[in-house]
Amino acid sequence: MSLPLFSSCTKEEKEDFLQKHFKEMTPDEVKRVIAKLEERYLRKYGKKFQIATQDALPGTLWGYGLDLSRCIGCRKCVYACAKENNNSRRHPQLHWIRVIRLKKGSLINLENSEHYYDPPLVPEKEYLYLPVQCQHCEHPPCVKVCPVHATWKEPDGLVVVDYNWCIGCRYCIAACPYKGRVFNWADPTIPPEEVNTAVHYLGNRPRMKSSVDKCTYCIQRVRTGRYPACVEACPTGTRKFGNLLDPNSEIRYIIQNKRVFRLKEDLNTEPKFYYFFEA
């Protein structure tokens, strides 16, 4: 490239600028981009990264179950998520999971929800806790409104973002009924000693300033047969996860045998995130 416009940029900046949409790259281009990223992360965090680009496993459609009668509102999932997914820690502190506290007696009207509850001890008698994250809708409004196809639904149902393609218009944040998306208002801050080096290109690789990110059900884990980090971190067994297409999966058992509901079903977004009560 010898366009005068780029004459003052480094080769790397030029490449970044011209980088294609992830889905339009040839396998060779993907390899080059991964190599470039791994080198960059090594420079920044002093660690060797493994950036996966693994495709969806055939015959999978991921679904989530959450037992509201078990959740004690401890937010262990929130912090495990941030750590697993290389979220910006401070200024801004970005969380993909929000646990909101509701007064018992109301579940649908979230207007009296408390987002920053901070009692010495949880659970509290008169409250229940509602963890919310990306619901991986079958009809995701965020995907519909994105002006540049920077976010899409993968064959296994995961809604992902190409962080290098997002233009930062934040239309998806306005469109999401679940507050499932967060914006990198500044360059993410991750202490190098806490950085997670096992990442997926469409998931938890460290992001950059001014792009949108979100929960991916831990795409880097679930496509290799592991549970999402929040499922593993939960001390009460509130969180369940599985393949909706597998009749013997735990999530299918829950849908069959529990009284499940989904958040804001009236909006027709068809979330793949099922809330239920054990007792």
Partner 1 sequence: MEAWKQILKETWHFYRKTLSLVFRGGTAYYLWCLFLLCFIFIGFIFYLKQHDLGLIETNMTDQVSWGLYIANFTYLVGMAAAAVLLVIPAYIYQFKPIKEIVVLGELFAASSIVMAILFVMVDLGRLDRFWHMIPFIGSMNFPQSLLAWDVLVLNGYLFLNLLIPIYLLVTFYYRKTPNWKFILPFILLSIPTAVGIHTVTAFLYNGLAARPFWNASILAPRFLASALCSGPAIMIIIFQIIRKVSVIDVEDEALFKIAELIAYAMFLNLFLLAAEFFKEYYSDTVHIAPFKYLFEGLHGHTQLVPWIWTAMTMNVTAFILFLIPSTRKRLSTLNLGCVFIIIGVWIEKGPGFVVPGFVPDPLGEIYVYMPNLLELMVSFGIWATGLLIFTLLMKVALPIEAGVFSHSEYEKGMSPPPPLH
Residue closest to 156 by CA, chosen among 54, 65, 68, 234: 54
- The least distance separating partner 1 from the CB of residue 273, rounded to whole angstroms, comes to 14
Which lies closer to partner 1 via its Cβ, residue 29 or residue 278? Answer: 29
**Contact status: 141 vs partner 1 (CB under 8 A):** yes
Kindly report the backbone phi and psi dihedral angles of residue 93, in degrees, each rounded to the nearest multiple of 5, phi listed first.
-90, 115
CA 241 and chain centroid, separation: 14
Q: Which is nearer to partner 1, 86 or 184 (CB)?
A: 184
Q: Which is nearer to partner 1, 22 or 60 (CB)?
A: 22
- Alpha carbon 55 to its chain's center: 17
In the complex, the smallest distance separating the C-beta of residue 176 from partner 1, rounded to whole angstroms, is 6
Residue 50 CA, chain-centre distance (Å), reads 19
CB of 63 to partner 1, least distance (A): 21
Q: Half-sphere exposure (CA, 13 Å, Cβ side) for 237? A: 3
**If binding means CB under 8 A, how many residues of this protein chain bind partner 1?**
49
Nearer to partner 1, 48 or 170 (CB): 170
Radius of gyration from C-alpha coordinates of the chain? 20
Output the smallest distance, CB 85 to partner 1, in A: 16
Tell me which of 44, 48, 144, 226 binds partner 1, using CB under 8 A.
Answer: 144
Among 77, 150, 160, 199, binds partner 1 (CB under 8 A): 150
The count of C-alpha atoms lying within 13 angstroms of the C-alpha of 19, restricted to the half-sphere facing its C-beta, is: 22
Judged by CB under 8 A, the chain residues 195 through 224 that form the site for partner 1 are: 209-211
Of these, 52, 128, 166, 190, which contacts partner 1 (CB under 8 A)?
166
Instruction: Please give the single-letter amino acid code of residue 246.
Output: D
CA pair distance 185, 204, nearest whole angstrom? 17
- Report the nearest approach of partner 1 to the CB of residue 141 (Å): 6
Distance CA(181)–CA(134), nearest Å, equals 7
CB nearer to partner 1: pick between 55 and 187: 187
Per CB under 8 A, 167 contacts partner 1: yes
Which residues have a Cβ under 8 Å from the Cβ of 196 and sit 6 or more positions away? 83, 84, 85, 86, 204
Q: Across-strand partners of 66? A: 239, 275
Q: Which one of residues 49, 62, 64, 165 is an interface residue with partner 1 (CB under 8 A)?
A: 165
Could you give the count of Cα atoms lying within 13 Å of 78 in the half-sphere of its Cβ? 19
Work out whether 184 is an interface residue with partner 1 (CB under 8 A): yes
Indicate the DSSP class of residue 57: P
Residue 68 or 169 having the CB closest to partner 1: 169
Residues near partner 1 (CB under 8 A) are 17, 21, 24, 91-92, 94, 98, 100, 109-113, 115, 132, 141, 144-150, 165-171, 173-179, 181-187, 209-211, 267-268
